[in-house]
Amino acid sequence: MSFPADRPRRLRRTTGLRALVAEHRLHPSDLVQPLFVREGIDEPRPIPAMPGQVQHTRESARKAAAAAAQAGVGGLMIFGVPERKHPDGRGAWDERGITQLAIGDVAAEVGDATVVIGDVNLDEYTDHGQVGLLGDDGDVDNDATLAAYARVAAAQAGAGAHVVAPSGMMDGQVAALRAGLDASGHERVTILAYAAKYDSAFYGPFRTAVESSFTGARSTHQQDPANLREALREVRLDREEGADLVMVKPAGHYLDVVRRVADTADVPVAAYQVSGEYAAIEIAARHGILQRERAIEESLVAIRRAGAQIILTYWATEVADRLRT
């Protein structure tokens, strides 16, 4: 019997060999841990739609931030959940708003050991749940919203955010943030653009976590899942407006988009493993359908393999701890 000279299975024979020749690997500093911080609660509140995740108090958020930094996690994304909402989302730029307070708490806790990122949006703060100010037609008024976003970014930078991340998918949002940050003395604050954010069904658990009032789809400003060239155009426009980093969201169902963006962008590329992706694995694992830790690692390695340098994931601290042991 003749055998092929090239036998790839030789390189898979032992754990050590597989590790030696691995083409992609995760590192704790690749990962960003999102944190939900709720106003007006005395203890962390579990999020039923996201098993294992909580709405933090300010104090528990500080502890979670310290644990993430200790594990070597690269960044922390802060989402505030206010007690009161308004039509114009004014709490989003209030210096005493929960997002700014939480950013200040976390920044004081971790210093420069990890990167503190503020999500720039209004959806947690508006009583209608939309991402911006509404026009007479009931849709989001793009240009009026840009001015609000600039105020939010300046407030987050003033609270101590190293990075601000506009996620509302308004045309011109990066340019508006850059101008607002520079005018308020925050020229050194970085902008992470949600450049390719799709109108996805996988955001549902997140909307529960932030107690959003919104129902329905955001098809008028988030991208159509059918389109790829549109994503590349959005990335190009955000770079032209001054984005320092760009993001694809969601991650797992858009790995082709991650790959194309990574191949064409001249800045680091992030991908957000969103709440629905997280919940699907957690719930399936709890029913014994799959092996939890293997599924988590496989999902993250796939995102890394597709070209993402930065991965936002609700498992960031847990995975970073495992990688360090």
Summarised one tens digit per residue, pLDDT across range 29-80 is: 999 999 999 999 999 999 999 999 999 999 999 999 999 999 999 999 999 9
Provide mean pLDDT across the span 234-255: 98
Considering only CA atoms, give the Rg of the chain: 20
* 17 — pLDDT class (breaks 50, 70, 90): confident
Residue 78: what residue type?
I
Q: How far is CA 107 from CA 77, 121, 138, 139, in A?
A: 11, 20, 37, 35
pLDDT band at 9 (very low <50, low <70, confident <90, very high): confident
Instruction: Clarify whether 249 is annotated catalytic.
Output: yes
Task: Say which of 38, 62, 85, 197 is annotated catalytic.
Answer: 197
The contacts of residue 156 (CB under 8 Å, 6+ apart) are 99, 100, 103, 118, 120, 164
Of the pLDDT bands very low, low, confident and very high (cuts 50, 70, 90), residue 320 is very high
Place of tokens 């500080």: 62
Tell me what pLDDT residue 2 has: 61
pLDDT band of residue 201 (cuts 50, 70, 90) is: very high
Q: Residue 15: its pLDDT value, please?
A: 85
For residue 26, the cross-strand partners are none
pLDDT at res. 216? 64
How many C-beta atoms lie closer than 10 Å to residue 141's C-beta?
A: 17
pLDDT band at 109 (very low <50, low <70, confident <90, very high): very high
Predicted confidence at residue 219, as pLDDT, reads: 74
Residue holding tokens 């109108």?
Answer: 199
Task: Over range 124-152, report the average pLDDT.
Answer: 90
Q: Which run of H or of E encompasses 198?
A: none
Structure tokens at 263: 């191949």
Tokens of 62: 């500080």
DSSP for 21-83, written as a single string: T-S----GGGEEEEEEEETT-SS-EE-TTSTT-EEEPHHHHHHHHHHHHHHT-SEEEEEEE-S
The answer to whether the beta carbons of residues 317 and 32 sit under 8 Å apart is no
- Tell me which DSSP letter residue 212 carries: -
Alpha helices (H) in the chain, listed in sequence order? 15-20, 58-71, 98-110, 142-159, 173-183, 204-209, 229-241, 255-264, 275-286, 292-306, 316-324
**pTM for the complete prediction?**
0.94
User: What is the per-residue pLDDT for 217?
Assistant: 64
Give the containing element (helix H, strand E) for 265.
Answer: none
* pLDDT at res. 62: 98
Cβ of 139: how many Cβ atoms within 10 Å? 13
- Give the per-residue pLDDT at 204: 93
pLDDT-derived band at 1 (thresholds 50, 70, 90) equals low
Q: In whole angstroms, what is the distance from residue 24 CA to residue 30 CA? A: 12
User: Is residue 142's pLDDT more than 80?
Assistant: yes
Catalytic residue check, 63? no
Predicted pLDDT of residue 101: 98
From 249, 276, 316, 317, active-site residue: 249
> What's the CA angle centered on 314, arms 94 and 102, to 5 degrees?
20
Dist CA 301 CA 3 (whole Å) = 32
Q: How far apart, in whole angstroms, are the C-alpha atoms of residue 206 and residue 82?
A: 15
Spatial CA neighbour of 58 closest among 91, 92, 121, 103: 103
> Residue 246: what pLDDT?
98
- What whole-number distance in Å separates Cα of residue 321 and Cα of residue 325? 7
> Per-residue confidence at 166, pLDDT binned at 50, 70, 90?
very high
Mean of pLDDT values over 305-314? 98
